[in-house]
Amino acid sequence: MKFRRSYKRLLTILLLFTATGITLAAAPTEHGELSSDIFIDNTKCEQCHAIIHYQWRGTMHYNAYEDPFYQKEFIEASNDTSGIVDTFCSRCHTPIGIVSGEIPPIDGSQLSDIARQGVQCDFCHVISASNGTGNAPFIVSPGKTKWGPFNDSKSAYHESEYLELYTRSEYCGMCHNVIHPLNGLVIDDTYTTWKEGAYAEEGVVCQDCHMTPGITQFEANPGRAGSGAKKREHISTHDIVGGNAFVTKILGEEKYSEMAVERLEKAATLSLDAPEIAQRGENVSLTISITNSGAGHKIPTGVSEIRQMWLAVNVKDRNGKELYNTGEIDDDGTVVNATKMYNTILGDSHGQSTLSFWLAESILEDNRIPPKGTVTEKHAFEIPVDVAYPLKVEATLKYRSAPQETINYLFGDNVYEVPVINMTIVSSSIYENEGEATEVPSTPGITALGSITFVICAAYCIRRRKI
């Protein structure tokens, strides 16, 4: 312990994913590990950075290790791969647990309290460089110096250094790009799809949307990074919310669940092309277009093989009689008759689809929507002879973090219900006759008697004016 503390300012650990585990560029002990007590507990950071700490506490980064869905999947992955992914997955979910050698074992029995803090303050701000993107290639230099996005920061508690990496998407890309450690298959391409998209060409980085008050675009957040710090035109927010309204909700983090819903509601737009006039017995065609108008990466993203995004299309007549319905959820939580599921379909060694990315060896389909991209669906139905006009056509883009069946398998039946989020809705009406389509409805509350009264009053007022 004395050896570790004496040299902790000089020690740099290069974390590289390999098929077998971690490669250390420099080892502070004879075991090649850091002690977790070399890192600062987040509660100490809170003393000077209260606002930023408040924003971070409760987020998916804060809960990266405690996330119950992650822990269930982690055990499944470990069992299926005989432990090959034990350190692979933990690198981003408990990075301190990895550099300190507290994982394995995977049950967390050796994890210190600070390692359970997930993606926490001190670990993020002692990243002094990166060896690229994907699979957490952090270069970490624990100690008194903290790195960040400002070149003129001063602190009475620690030394501050500017690092351009903190202002670039490559910082986020260290974890938000995941490559299979054995076969090189890209199983999370959030960074890559940003890099290859329109936003990267325009100079818009991840932080511009995920670390500002704006949902889909940069919005300045004036303030101070810490108590006594200089006031700046923009301080990055640290809630860094994505689209996970499920895990945040089951952890009781309602604020972040609601923020995730809001982000999903701003991610896409719909357009609906339907006839204004159609007769009984006629076959009607609908064209519905989905545009990724608000996300800098493909939607959905992350572990996109389990994400579900689809169109629900419903047509009813004036009396509520259902004429057409697709993409609804049945009593078992299954999506029924959706034309397409917008996600990634992974294939295992037998070419069969799998929801277990650790078993994936190929990508069978990628149906996601790229940044500023548009996809189109066609729907058709026949109008019965006994309908009551007008008909209402409604299309809803829906999303949920995982299939209900998967959650039931991991946690048991009736334990958690995965929320289905309505990302955006578009509707139109179909009339039988042209006059109905163009008819202007009467003003509510004005009857024939009311109209006569209005005319008399108007005439009286005009007469008074002339007098």
348-383 pLDDT, tens digit per residue, is 999 999 999 999 999 999 999 999 999 999 999 999
pTM, full prediction: 0.87
Q: What is the pLDDT of residues 288-343, one digit of tens each?
A: 999 999 999 999 999 999 999 999 999 999 999 999 999 999 999 999 999 999 99
Last residue of a domain, one of 132, 150, 177: 177
- Note down the domain range covering 39: 2-177
Residue 310 forms part of a structural domain: yes
Fill in the amino acid letter for 385.
V
CATH of the domain at 397: 2.60.40.10
Establish if 73 belongs to a structural domain. yes
Contacting residues for 441 by C-beta, under 8 A, at least 6 apart = none
Report which of 290, 274, 270, 271 is spatially closest to residue 381, judged by C-alpha positions.
Answer: 274
Do 295 and 423 reside in the same domain of the chain?
Answer: yes
Strands 159-162, 145-148: pairing kind: parallel
Residue 33 binned pLDDT confidence (cut-offs 50, 70, 90): confident
Q: Percent of the chain beyond pLDDT 70?
A: 87
Domain C-terminal end among 118, 147, 177: 177
Helix 68-81 to helix 404-411 angle, to the nearest 10 degrees?
80
Q: List residues bridging with 382 in a β-sheet.
A: 283
**Is the pLDDT confidence value at 466 over 70?**
no
- Boundary-marking domain end, from 125, 158, 177: 177
Distance (Å, whole) CA 90 – CA 106: 9
Q: How many domains does the chain have?
A: 2
Q: Could you give the C-alpha distances from 256 to 2, 336, 428, in angstroms and in order?
A: 41, 29, 33
Looking at the fold, whether 273 and 386 belong to one and the same domain comes out as yes
Q: Which residue has the tokens 């064209």?
A: 287
Neighbour-count burial for 53-82, b at 16+ CB within 10 Å, e otherwise: bebbbbbbbbbbbbbebbbebbebbbeebe
Q: What angle do CA 102, 104, 108 make, to 5 degrees?
A: 70
Confidence bin at 34 (pLDDT 50/70/90):
confident
